[in-house]
Structure 1
Amino acid sequence: MASILAKLPPPPLFANGRHLLLSTLQKVTAPGIGGRQGQFAFVAKATSDTSDESSTSLVKSVQSVWEKSEDRIAVIGLGFSAIVGLWAIVNFVSAIDKLPLIPTALELVGILFSSWFVYRNLLFKPDREEFFRSANKSLSDILGGR
């Protein structure tokens, strides 16, 4: 028999009312559920059927992409290299962030460049129109448009 002595606030909700989290931290008093008496443990809560439907549609879409791919070893290799690359980028940024002056200098460079970009391209109407023309031309060149 589990008695809830402490409970976290309810999990955040999506716009349509589905629960984002599937479990809450509860204090368990029965010895068989969470180990010793009085320990905190995650206790699963039931979710609505609509979240199960969305998860099954996600699984089906991933399965269809997997079935359509011809070179599955390359897909696995790309996924693995993406994970390794993300890990390396996160570690690189955290290493730079630990250095004393570099984060402040990079922040200053970012502020100066953003200010220059706004002044050069967005502040005055003729410059803004020219910028949007060049951006639309570049986008159409990339997408193979007219």
Structure 2
Amino acid sequence: MTDAIWSDPAKLKQLIELFDSGVTVQSIADTLDVSRNAVCGKIARLGLKREKKSPEAKPTPALTPAAPPQPAPIVVAAGASPTFTPRPISASPVGKPVSIIRVRKNQCRAPLDERGGDGLTMFCGAPKLAGSSYCEMHHGIFHTHRQH
């Protein structure tokens, strides 16, 4: 169907006139009773281009440099500095070091300085605290709590 429409010189002239007048491609397609893609393809094959309107230059008001914002003074109340104290820690974990491959979901995942025979990092392996990835000892080492 599109071959027949573009072979008609009157329809081709109508396409060019509508395109040059700024009508949208969809409106042209509706007017000529063809698909939007058929119109886009014919416009591309004809090499038609719309004239781009240059955006009107808006006058920019002269700006005066603003003064840099002054930082708010830092006020520290006397004797109110928080202190960090570690929790009491048990002497040593009760677990046996395990490799990453052997560590279970209920075992402490604190990495140790030692390596296994296969060269992999060893983990604590002691029973972990509920809601933590670590045993009581390692949780106390890794987490400190602020006291007011």
Shorter-normalised TM-score: what interval? under 0.3
> Which structure has more RCO (C-alpha within 8 Å, separation ≥ 6)?
2
Which has more radius of gyration? Answer: 2
